[in-house]
Structure 1
Amino acid sequence: MTDPAAPTRDAFLPVAAQPSVDQLVEFAREAEQLGYERAWLPETWGRDAVTTLTAIAERTEEIGIGTSIANVYSRSPALIGQTAATLQEVSDGRLRVGLGPSGPAVVEGWHGADYDRPLRRTRETVEVVRLVLSGDPVEYDGEIFTLSGLRLRCDPPETVPGIDAAGMGPKSVELAGRFADGWHALMLTKAGLRDRLADLKRGAKLGDRDPDELRVTLSLPCIALDDRERARRLARNHLAFYVGAMGTFYREALERQGYDEEAVEIASEWANGNQEAALAAISDELLDDLGIAGTPEECREHYAAWEAIDGVDAVSVSFPRGAEPDEISATMRALAPE
């Protein structure tokens, strides 16, 4: 990977609704003051990432910014390229782009688009965005997209931002290794992460690329509170929601990693409206295999084991969806870079 030293520490801004854009900006400003390398912002069905990242870029000085992730269905590849060029300009070169297909719950349920050929669409989007950012005329003849005759109407970025792809399954991670500049990993145990890193290397080999040039960013669910019981419940609720309410991707990710019985039980209980039973189906072993939740001391101790995984370039501290702003800040402080 890009740096043999210890992984950098990023902040993954909360996916759940926040009181205001100002609150998200304040999280990014706090992360910057604490020494985090980059602030990643997800985009689901709340505030859009572009406007929010612009506000963050204008009101911070050094911290990197990035999308994790922007889906490849709600914007055209050319528009994503234009947006990346503009965000790179307003942030003075601090952008990194994270792209991915998301899932049917967002793409079909929110955007009203057909969730068709997600891997192919991701690949072509990465390729078109790279062409747009080069500043050269965009000539592209893909299976989904065909573009011809135009180029970026402003100067391309002096420093072209990296383009990462998100993925949980073997083929999506292989795609990241073959076509993107990096991979965003999530919902993985340590053993599962090592398995997917092998897929990334295989993709790099297929693309005749050096895997050491690819940047691996792990999104790690974290909640560090003096109230250990509260922290553990927040983490359980977060996991149960994603496995139970967000389609089959997260359930399948758990099944691939040896938690097939628990994954099915969590999803089934949630689908039947038994949220407490879904939370109860999450064992301590599973909870601790997928993230860190507990007292600040516990979390700092367990965090080190994730940073020690060979092949990870950045560990991004992410937060459970039910965490309050003060709990997010407390976790960022507890896990701040030393």
Structure 2
Amino acid sequence: MTERDVFLSVGAQPSLDAMVEQIEFAEELGYDTAWAPETWGRDAVTLLATAAHRTDEIGLGTSILNAYSRSPSLLGQTAVTLQEASDGRFRLGVGPSGPIVIENWHGVDFGNPLRRTRETVEIIKQVLSGEEVSYDGEYFDLDGFRLRCDLPETLPKVDAAGLGPKAVEMCGRFADGWHATTFTHDGLADRMEDLERGLELGDRDPEEFRTTVSVTCCALEDSEHARDMVTQHVAFYIGGMGTYYRDSLARQGYEELAHTIHDAWQDGDREHAQQLVEENLLPHMSVAGTPEEAREQLAEYESIDGVDAVYTSYPRSADVDEIKQTMEALAPDRTE
């Protein structure tokens, strides 16, 4: 059975306490895992450490910590510590993020994100082995240290995010799970072939691998308002977050549309960009409408072969009440 997770919004969050309360609410509703993002707001590590002490059962994970602002060894230390803090409920998600965040916020050259993410995953797994870390890579050259604390009884899994064919193949080959985001139904199905190739190359057991799909959701009685917020959110990512998500959409068979949305947004014609999203993309890569409509739409994602978990994420403009309404409408017990 496909698991249903929750992804915390980074927008419209008045406090750390409000975010932790949403994780507590997700636990009450029966969600399997709460995923914390990290962009340029509150850091995910402090958030999850706080949540670990205020929850008992819900899984906790990062989606994602980027592979640039922390060293791979520190990411390994963080994974061990959060696993200890959560009594074995933690799962580490890492990935490259995107050039606009890495270069403009962290001031680091984006370089080769595929190679850097692979090296990061490999080093983290060495850290988690408890043995001396020895690594000679393109980005990292490490030797002479091992983790200076006992390993947790259950080691945390290490997931990776990827958009393009080679990145998804890398996830299957080296990580324990793949985080998929901003995919249409068909685009996601196409990437599954790349994931299977990576699993074969890494001689991995598909049964031990977790594919987690992010879906932007808004379920409100005011269905028009719900669709408007999701439309704006999708248009922002395609048009306002550099070229990373634009190019991912183009690879999914929407090249002309992706560039038109991006150009309209960059030219200041956001109304046109949002109109293009609403007319051409909304039902194919998001969930929006009344609670009943949204539940039916989310079930379509969960039925895609190879999807192990779907996490409901929320529009960047949604307020706390709208997020909680959507969480409640799409809670796992509503569809069992």
Instruction: Report the TM-score, using the length of structure 1 for normalisation.
Output: 0.97
Structure 2 residue 200 is matched with structure 1 residue 205: yes
Residue 242 of structure 1 aligns with which residue? 237
**How many matched pairs?**
333
Counterpart amino acid of residue 136 in structure 1: E
Partner of 1:98: 93
Contact 1:12 1:40 in 2 (8 A): yes
Q: What does the per-residue CA deviation read over 1:89-109, in whole Å, with 9 as the maximum and x for residues that have no partner?
A: 111110001100011111000
**How far did residue 205 of structure 1 move?**
1.2
SS in 1 for 2:93: strand
Q: What per-residue deviation string (whole Å, max 9, x for no partner) do you get for residues 179-215 of structure 1? A: 0001001111111111111100101111222233211
State how far apart, in whole Å, the 1-side matches of 2:277 and 2:303 are. Answer: 26
Specify the alignment match of 1:27 in structure 2: 22
SS for the counterpart of 1:276 is helix
CA distance in 2, matches of 1:205, 1:145: 26
Please point out which of 153, 158, 169 is paired with 2:164.
169
Match of 2:248 in 1: 253
Contact 1:225 1:296 in 2 (8 A): yes
Determine the structure 1 residue equivalent to 2:33: 38
Measured in 1, the distance between the counterparts of 2:11 and 2:101 equals 14
Higher mean Cα deviation, 246-255 or 217-226? Answer: 246-255
Compute the RMSD of aligned alpha carbons.
Answer: 1.0
Q: Which amino acid aligns with 1:116?
A: G
C-alpha offsets along residues 10-41 of structure 1, whole Å, 9 cap, x if unaligned?
00111325100001001100000000000001
- Contact conserved, 1:236 with 1:287, CA < 8 A, in 2? yes
| 2:103 counterpart residue number | 108
2:42 aligned with 1:47, yes or no? Answer: yes
Which residue pairs with 2:181 in the alignment? 186
Unaligned runs of 5+ in 1: 1-5
Instruction: Name which of 126, 133, 158 aligns with 2:128.
Output: 133
1:86 equivalent in structure 2:
81
Report if the CA contact (8 A) 1:200-1:211 is conserved. no
Residues in 1 aligned to 2:269 and 2:191: alpha-carbon distance in whole angstroms: 32
Shift of 1:283: 3.4
Identify the residue that residue 73 of structure 1 maps to in structure 2. 68
Q: Distance in 1 between matches of 2:85 and 2:290?
A: 38
Q: Of 4, 7, 14, which residue of structure 2 is paired with 1:9?
A: 4
CA contact (8 A) 2:12 2:320 kept: no
Q: Which residue of 1 aligns with 2:332?
A: 337
3-state SS of paired residue (1:154)? coil
> Counterparts in 2 of 1:269-288, with a 5 A limit?
269-288=264-283
Q: CA deviation at 1:305?
A: 1.3
Whole-angstrom CA distance in 2 between matches of 1:16 and 1:81: 28
For 2:145, which of 150, 166, 172 is the aligned residue?
A: 150
| One-letter amino acid matched to 2:245 | Y
Q: Alignment partner of 1:10: what SS?
A: strand
1:289 to 284, 288, 303: 284
- For 2:116, the equivalent position in structure 1 comes to 121
**Shift of residue 266, structure 1, vs aligned partner:** 1.2
Residues in 1 aligned to 2:144 and 2:256: alpha-carbon distance in whole angstroms: 53
Find the aligned partners of 1:73 and 1:12 in 2 and give their Cα distance.
22
TM-score by length of 2: 0.97
For residues 249 and 111 of structure 2, the distance between their equivalents in structure 1, rounded to whole angstroms, comes to 23
Moved beyond 3 Å, runs of 4+: none
Residue 323 of structure 2 is matched in structure 1 by 328
Could you tell me which runs of 5 or more consecutive residues in structure 2 were left unpaired when the two chains were aligned. Answer: none
Structure 2 SS opposite 1:108: helix
